[in-house]
Amino acid sequence: MSPAAFQRRWKRRTPSAARCGAVAVEFAAIAPLLLAIIVGLIELSRVYSVQNCLETAAREGARFAALDRSGMMLGGKTANQKLVDDVKNYLASNNINPDKVNVKVTAADNPDQDFNLDDPANDLELFQVRVDVPYSDVSYSPVSDANDYSLNAALTFRNGRAVVND
């Protein structure tokens, strides 16, 4: 094979400059879509993580209310105050601003009525721990006021005071 024939054959197999430009245009057209999908997945995983933290915090707070609370309150705090503080501390340890979190202890059958864990009349009664935080305060991306909503978790538990034996 002569060198000229080899060169002609080689030129047919190499991509042309026009084809290289087409790849760049295709990438430019697809890149925003891929970036949007990646950012959406990151944001979705954040929402899932925060929702899981809210549910766990509500569960841990309600679990406290079922324990024998004697000797657990410091400085004259009520059981409700300790429950709220414990929930907020748990969420703060998971990088959720406790100042933006709303925690309520309500009657299970009436969410508008506050529930006093220390009231003997409420022993063995059902109560609900409700935890919520605005989405804009946990989102990685900015959220307009019109599109903001609340992530929340609620757990119903019995004010049982189970005694812990040593």
Q: Would you tell me how many other CB atoms lie within 10 Å of the CB of residue 13?
A: 6
Range of the domain at 41: 17-158
Range from 11-15, 20-24, 146-150 carrying the lowest mean pLDDT: 11-15
The answer to the question of residue 81 being in a domain is yes
For 146, residues 6+ apart whose C-beta sits below 8 A from its C-beta are: none
Q: Does residue 154 form part of some domain?
A: yes
Question: pTM of the predicted model, to two decimals?
Answer: 0.75
Q: Is residue 25 in some structural domain?
A: yes
Please list, in sequence order, all residues whose beta carbon lies within 8 angstroms of the beta carbon of residue 159, skipping any fewer than 6 positions away.
Answer: 65, 66, 115, 117, 122, 123, 124, 125, 126, 127
- Residue 103 forms part of a structural domain: yes
Rounded to whole angstroms, how far apart are CA atoms 70 and 19? 77
Q: What average pLDDT does range 88-116 have in this prediction?
A: 93
Q: What is the pLDDT of residues 56-79, one digit of tens each?
A: 999 998 888 777 666 676 777 888
Residue 163 lies in a domain: no
Residue 12 domain-assigned?
A: no
**Domains identified in the chain, total number:** 1
Report which of residues 20 and 97 the model is more confident about.
97
* Spatial contact of 62 and 155, defined as CB atoms under 8 Å apart: yes
